[in-house]
A and B are shown apart, each in its own frame.
Chain A
Amino acid sequence: MKIGLYPGCSLKGSSREYNESVNALANAFDITLEEVPDWNCCGATAAHNLNHELSLSLPARILALAEQAGMEMLVIPCAACYSRLTIVQYELNQDEELKKKVSEIIEMPYLGNIKILNVIQFIQQFILEKLPAKIKQPFNYKVACYYGCLLVRPHGILKFDRPEDPLTMDEAMKAVGADSIDWAFKVECCGAGMSVARTDVVGKLSGSIMKDAVDRGAEAIIVACPMCHSNLDMRRPDINKALSEKITTPVLYITQALGLAVGIDPKTLGLHRHFVPVNLPKKEIQTQMEVK
């Protein structure tokens, strides 16, 4: 089964373990993901903050490339890229003149008919049913599934899950034996792109998220967005500073958690690349990786 994949810049750089775990999980279920040839950056937050047409053109080029490569489906693990591409596809489909204009800017034909899937939809469609049969080590920890902003909003365009208290990631985690807790910060913002320019804001916002999850007994946070992961993991010192306490709860990508459950080894899933050690205690899981 061949499906398109748009990794985006983070998955090739600071969040490469996400990419590794997505590919490893896909392989374990005999799914081949083909990267969009010669893909470019989607522009993320910077493009739409500074120039509307640029913010439309960069994603449009990616979609046009995928269309050219004959991809009917495109899996986008990064929530920000997923958000940008889905919104651009929607906006251009609403306005034929704008579609033509953008097509001229990117100098490529553009149709706008590819089905875009985020990582959770990918799991739901291709993996969830086959999951129970392949479980080697149930992931029986208490987890807080953190969706962040861009997977569920704007709901009118993305039409994915419930915009308040979503449940799809929780269902996927329950399918591998996790105790997915009910908590209050599922869709609150982690601080997003302020990671460099206003790290203090990230500390405060991500801190509130961590605190609520940990207070309710979460042993791990599960995410589906590299920005959220980075803010909750790499920026843990700033979180600890904002909360005036040291929190050691690890943050895993959903693909890593599911990968562990079906027996993929932690190194392949990139768990050693995290800043906060993934020391999940007791049970029979062997994730005792520590970074020096």
Chain B
Amino acid sequence: MARIGVFVCHCGENISATVDCEKVASVASGFPGVAYSTSYKYMCSDPGQNLVKDAIKEYKLDGVVVAACSPRMHEPTFRRATAEAGLNPYLCEMANLREHCSWVHDKVEATTNKAIDTVRTLVEKVKRNTPLHPIRVPVTKTALVIGGGVAGIQAALDIANTGHKVIMVERDPSIGGHMSQLSETFPTLDCSQCILTPRMVEIAQHPNITLYTYAEIESLEGFIGNFKVKIRKKSKSIDEKACTGCGLCSTKCPTKKISSEFEQHLGKRPAIYVPFPQAVPNKPVIDKENCTYYLKGKCRICEKVCPTKAIRFDQPDEILEVEIGAVVVATGFDVKETDFFPEYGYGKYKDVITGLQFERIASASGPTQGMIRRPSDGEIPKTVVFIKCAGSRDPAKGIEYCSKICCMYTAKHAMLYKHKVHDGNAFVFYMDIRAGGKNYEEFVRRAITEDGAQYIRGRVSKVYEKNGKLIVSGADTLLGSMPVEIEADLVVLATASVASKGAEELAQKLHISYDSYKFFSEAHPKLKPVETNTGGIFLAGACQAPKDIPESVAMASGAAVKVAVLFSNDELTREPIVAEVNRIAPPMYSTCVGCFMCQPVCPYQAIEREQIKDRSGNLIKELARINPGLCQGCGTCVALCRSKSIDLHGYTNNQVLAEVVALLND
């Protein structure tokens, strides 16, 4: 005979204002199988929980129903209390009298009756609960960091410094990301590469970090603590062990005029190249799409001049398979290019550039050695117009969000320009100035009051070129929307930050969610910014949403801690609410017929094929088997199985049927 305890919570007034809690407890005490029933003002409080624990011991309860708020609020609380009293926690269930009852109905008799019905239903269910035990899975204590920008670097270093192994995969020939392309960073005007490159070197030298550059993720399988990743190391055509990074090959390569991605197409590079002088690793790669040997079978000069014979034209791509326990995704962002803007010339004007291109121009190691020169004729521009919100906050162009960093970097650009061209004019067309970070507001004011950047509130309708000048037509809304026309030498568009190229494909490989802009989704926008909905995969940096360097670094450290927490256990416990395909004695082995219709419908790829063999190794039948490490207990397969061979622990068919019958029998 069951001995269920019912505990009805007033929840202050949240429940008792609408539901007669005393009555519910009193009626419940008459249900068959209920040994004890009471009500209390705050069940989740210490005394409330003690009420449960004491009752379990005193009345020798073998099941607990706490009729209170939603189990999503306090199921763990009461299950913990139950366990502390010595009863299996899965023998405790919650009846939702708040979100499903008192909060959505008026104070009438029907509401209290509904509460009573709910309690009765749960009592019938709990009578059929069986003790369940958490599932333990081992944890592989190696982390994978995808992306070698500042966020990836921070996360990798933090995880490696906790003593765990890290594998970093970066698809460009060098790590560093966009931060390595910047000239100076706001608000301190630190030289970007100066503060980044020591970290980059640390990555390369850290004993716990294995760095793969010019590599991409081929596939990811498995589950939290137990992933298997396939990494494709694209062929660099270089034997990295033999290469000393002397650079002779790049100097001698005859194909020198390839547009450099690092220089944002403002500079050139050879076919065998290191993207920038401070690259890590400082070893070249051969751009197969532009190398004369790969295109026509001729040249091979690099091979001839290399002192250590490190060139390997026939080097294939290599696929590595590694076991890892956690993934940090730090793939960063891209910026929209100027051809996105019809009213600014569809990208045909050489002197209309993006903010990132301006960074390269201002960079000491850039295509103009840090002198502000315009791309068309190399002249020093005397009037520069900066246009903010180019693409962002623009539903007509399909980008509704704010790209966050442009207000700050435009103020910085105006400042850098004025520092280098003292008699130049810097105009900034803006709608708003977003400078919320630490020292950010002061930085922008400095650009205006000390460096003389002229801010005009209004947007630019059109930019066109005439006689080597760019005619900018904007408006000054603070002066009655008076049209303003400026003849500029250079126009810098603060273009929208967007998800990096290939983000969607990567998200699908990793089975993580992303939004309509292809930014990766965090598990909860307020409280879980670095986790995804997929266990064991975390986010860091601008791949989640546009953000600046301090935020990316902070987020990366946050993701690293999550990984460290995961790795601080040798085993992971998982909720045992999982589905199971039945197994019975031979010769049937299971009522499962091996149709495997369940396999494709499982959203978590948790269903495998298990081969049942006889002692000689001959195959008898193939049955479906659910991996308890991957199953999330959604119940899809349970509903689908035609032979009803699958059941869900904690929500068995019997239990659910009992609940329905209890509801129908008043």
Direct interface between A and B, CB < 8 A:
yes
**Chain A interface (Cβ within 8 Å of chain B)?**
162-165, 182, 184, 212, 215
Stretch of B20-28, B237-245, B463-471, B610-618 that contacts chain A? B463-471
Q: How far is it, in angstroms, between the C-alpha of A164 and the C-alpha of B464 when the chains are bound?
A: 11
Q: State whether A165 and B471 are in contact (beta carbons under 8 Å apart), knowing that A184-B464, A184-B465, A212-B466 are contacts in the complex.
A: no
How near does chain A come to B350, taking the closest CB pair, in angstroms?
A: 13
How near does chain A come to B471, taking the closest CB pair, in angstroms?
A: 7
Cross-interface CB contact of B342 among A163, A182, A184, A212, cutoff 8 Å: A163
Task: Note all chain A residues with C-beta closer than 8 A to B466.
Answer: 184, 212, 215
B346/A164 in contact, CB under 8 A: yes
Interface residues of B in 563-597 (CB under 8 A from A): none
Q: How far is it, in angstroms, between the C-alpha of A182 and the C-alpha of B466 when the chains are bound?
A: 11
Mostly helix, strand, loop or mixed at chain B's interface?
mixed
Which residue on B lies nearest to A182, using beta carbons?
Answer: B348
A164/B471 in contact, CB under 8 A: no
Interface string of B326-358 (1 = CB under 8 A from A): 000000000000000011011010000000000
Count A-B contacts at CB 8 Å: 18
How near does chain A come to B402, taking the closest CB pair, in angstroms?
A: 24
Q: How far is it, in angstroms, between the C-alpha of A101 and the C-alpha of B342 when the chains are bound?
A: 39
Q: How far is it, in angstroms, between the C-alpha of A203 and the C-alpha of B342 when the chains are bound?
A: 27
B346/A165 in contact, CB under 8 A: yes
B342/A162 in contact, CB under 8 A: yes
Q: How far is it, in angstroms, between the C-alpha of A212 and the C-alpha of B462 when the chains are bound?
A: 15
Mostly helix, strand, loop or mixed at chain A's interface?
loop
Q: How far is it, in angstroms, between the C-alpha of A48 and the C-alpha of B17 when the chains are bound?
A: 61
Q: How far is it, in angstroms, between the C-alpha of A215 and the C-alpha of B471 when the chains are bound?
A: 15
Task: Note all chain A residues with C-beta closer than 8 A to B348.
Answer: 182
Which residue on A lies nearest to B465, using beta carbons?
Answer: A184
Q: How far is it, in angstroms, between the C-alpha of A215 and the C-alpha of B469 when the chains are bound?
A: 14
Which residue on B lies nearest to A216, using beta carbons?
Answer: B466
A165/B465 in contact, CB under 8 A: no
Which residue on A lies nearest to B396, using beta carbons?
Answer: A156
Task: Note all chain A residues with C-beta closer than 8 A to B345.
Answer: 165
Pairs of residues from A and B, 9 with the lowest C-beta to C-beta distance, nearest first:
A184-B464, A164-B342, A164-B343, A165-B346, A184-B466, A162-B342, A163-B342, A165-B342, A212-B466
Interface residues of B in 445-463 (CB under 8 A from A): 462
Chain A CB within 10 A, most for which of B466, B467, B471: B466
How near does chain A come to B280, taking the closest CB pair, in angstroms?
A: 43
Interface residues of B in 418-477 (CB under 8 A from A): 462, 464-467, 471
How near does chain B come to A49, taking the closest CB pair, in angstroms?
A: 22
Task: Note all chain A residues with C-beta closer than 8 A to B346.
Answer: 162, 164-165
Known contacts A162-B346, A164-B342, A184-B471; 13 further A-B pairs (Cβ under 8 A): A162-B342, A163-B342, A164-B343, A164-B346, A165-B342, A165-B345, A165-B346, A182-B348, A184-B464, A184-B465, A184-B466, A212-B466, A215-B466
Task: Note all chain A residues with C-beta closer than 8 A to B467.
Answer: 215
Q: How far is it, in angstroms, between the C-alpha of A215 and the C-alpha of B465 when the chains are bound?
A: 12
How near does chain B come to A212, taking the closest CB pair, in angstroms?
A: 7
How near does chain B come to A73, taking the closest CB pair, in angstroms?
A: 29
Q: How far is it, in angstroms, between the C-alpha of A130 and the C-alpha of B471 when the chains are bound?
A: 40
How near does chain B come to A149, taking the closest CB pair, in angstroms?
A: 14
Task: Note all chain A residues with C-beta closer than 8 A to B342.
Answer: 162-165
Q: How far is it, in angstroms, between the C-alpha of A162 and the C-alpha of B471 when the chains are bound?
A: 21
How near does chain A come to B595, taking the closest CB pair, in angstroms?
A: 50
Q: How far is it, in angstroms, between the C-alpha of A98 and the C-alpha of B394 when the chains are bound?
A: 32
Task: Note all chain B residues with C-beta closer than 8 A to A163.
Answer: 342
How near does chain B come to A151, taking the closest CB pair, in angstroms?
A: 15
Task: Note all chain A residues with C-beta closer than 8 A to B464.
Answer: 184
How near does chain B come to A217, taking the closest CB pair, in angstroms?
A: 12
Q: How far is it, in angstroms, between the C-alpha of A162 and the C-alpha of B348 when the chains are bound?
A: 15
Q: How far is it, in angstroms, between the C-alpha of A163 and the C-alpha of B343 when the chains are bound?
A: 9
Q: How far is it, in angstroms, between the C-alpha of A256 and the C-alpha of B233 when the chains are bound?
A: 62
Task: Note all chain B residues with C-beta closer than 8 A to A165.
Answer: 342, 345-346
Task: Note all chain A residues with C-beta closer than 8 A to B471.
Answer: 184
A-B CB contact pairs (8 Å), 11 listed: A162-B346, A164-B342, A164-B343, A164-B346, A164-B462, A165-B342, A165-B345, A165-B346, A184-B466, A184-B471, A215-B466
Which residue on A lies nearest to B464, using beta carbons?
Answer: A184
Q: How far is it, in angstroms, between the C-alpha of A285 and the C-alpha of B201 when the chains are bound?
A: 71
How near does chain A come to B397, taking the closest CB pair, in angstroms?
A: 12
Which residue on A lies nearest to B343, using beta carbons?
Answer: A164
Task: Note all chain B residues with C-beta closer than 8 A to A182.
Answer: 348
Chain A CB within 10 A, most for which of B346, B462, B464, B471: B464
Which residue on A lies nearest to B346, using beta carbons?
Answer: A165
Q: How far is it, in angstroms, between the C-alpha of A179 and the C-alpha of B471 when the chains are bound?
A: 24
How near does chain A come to B537, taking the closest CB pair, in angstroms?
A: 41
Which residue on B lies nearest to A166, using beta carbons?
Answer: B342
Q: How far is it, in angstroms, between the C-alpha of A43 and the C-alpha of B632 when the chains are bound?
A: 66
Q: How far is it, in angstroms, between the C-alpha of A212 and the C-alpha of B464 when the chains are bound?
A: 11
Which residue on A lies nearest to B467, using beta carbons?
Answer: A215
Q: How far is it, in angstroms, between the C-alpha of A182 and the C-alpha of B471 when the chains are bound?
A: 15
How near does chain A come to B119, taking the closest CB pair, in angstroms?
A: 54
Task: Note all chain B residues with C-beta closer than 8 A to A212.
Answer: 466
Interface string of B346-373 (1 = CB under 8 A from A): 1010000000000000000000000000
Q: How far is it, in angstroms, between the C-alpha of A212 and the C-alpha of B467 when the chains are bound?
A: 10
Interface residues of B in 60-101 (CB under 8 A from A): none
Q: How far is it, in angstroms, between the C-alpha of A63 and the C-alpha of B471 when the chains are bound?
A: 43
How near does chain A come to B467, taking the closest CB pair, in angstroms?
A: 8
Q: How far is it, in angstroms, between the C-alpha of A165 and the C-alpha of B343 when the chains are bound?
A: 8
How near does chain B come to A186, taking the closest CB pair, in angstroms?
A: 10
Task: Note all chain A residues with C-beta closer than 8 A to B462.
Answer: 164
Interface string of B144-171 (1 = CB under 8 A from A): 0000000000000000000000000000
Which residue on B lies nearest to A165, using beta carbons?
Answer: B346
How near does chain A come to B352, taking the closest CB pair, in angstroms?
A: 13
Q: How far is it, in angstroms, between the C-alpha of A165 and the C-alpha of B345 when the chains are bound?
A: 8
Chain A CB within 10 A, most for which of B342, B346, B348: B342
How near does chain A come to B342, taking the closest CB pair, in angstroms?
A: 4
Task: Note all chain B residues with C-beta closer than 8 A to A162.
Answer: 342, 346
Task: Note all chain B residues with C-beta closer than 8 A to A215.
Answer: 466-467
Q: How far is it, in angstroms, between the C-alpha of A162 and the C-alpha of B466 when the chains are bound?
A: 21
Which residue on B lies nearest to A212, using beta carbons?
Answer: B466
Which residue on A lies nearest to B342, using beta carbons?
Answer: A164
Task: Note all chain B residues with C-beta closer than 8 A to A184.
Answer: 464-466, 471
Q: How far is it, in angstroms, between the C-alpha of A215 and the C-alpha of B467 when the chains are bound?
A: 9
Q: How far is it, in angstroms, between the C-alpha of A184 and the C-alpha of B345 when the chains are bound?
A: 9
Q: How far is it, in angstroms, between the C-alpha of A215 and the C-alpha of B466 when the chains are bound?
A: 9
Q: How far is it, in angstroms, between the C-alpha of A165 and the C-alpha of B342 when the chains are bound?
A: 8
How near does chain B come to A118, taking the closest CB pair, in angstroms?
A: 20
Q: How far is it, in angstroms, between the C-alpha of A184 and the C-alpha of B346 when the chains are bound?
A: 12
How near does chain B come to A157, taking the closest CB pair, in angstroms?
A: 15
Q: How far is it, in angstroms, between the C-alpha of A182 and the C-alpha of B345 when the chains are bound?
A: 11
Interface string of B24-47 (1 = CB under 8 A from A): 000000000000000000000000
Q: How far is it, in angstroms, between the C-alpha of A162 and the C-alpha of B464 when the chains are bound?
A: 16
Q: How far is it, in angstroms, between the C-alpha of A163 and the C-alpha of B348 when the chains are bound?
A: 16
Q: How far is it, in angstroms, between the C-alpha of A67 and the C-alpha of B573 when the chains are bound?
A: 74
How near does chain A come to B241, taking the closest CB pair, in angstroms?
A: 53
Task: Note all chain A residues with C-beta closer than 8 A to B465.
Answer: 184
How near does chain A come to B359, taking the closest CB pair, in angstroms?
A: 27
Q: How far is it, in angstroms, between the C-alpha of A290 and the C-alpha of B464 when the chains are bound?
A: 36
How near does chain A come to B212, taking the closest CB pair, in angstroms?
A: 43
Q: How far is it, in angstroms, between the C-alpha of A162 and the C-alpha of B465 when the chains are bound?
A: 19
Q: How far is it, in angstroms, between the C-alpha of A163 and the C-alpha of B341 when the chains are bound?
A: 11
Interface string of B471-487 (1 = CB under 8 A from A): 10000000000000000
Q: How far is it, in angstroms, between the C-alpha of A184 and the C-alpha of B342 when the chains are bound?
A: 12
Q: How far is it, in angstroms, between the C-alpha of A182 and the C-alpha of B346 when the chains are bound?
A: 12
How near does chain B come to A214, taking the closest CB pair, in angstroms?
A: 12
Q: How far is it, in angstroms, between the C-alpha of A162 and the C-alpha of B345 when the chains are bound?
A: 12
Task: Note all chain B residues with C-beta closer than 8 A to A164.
Answer: 342-343, 346, 462
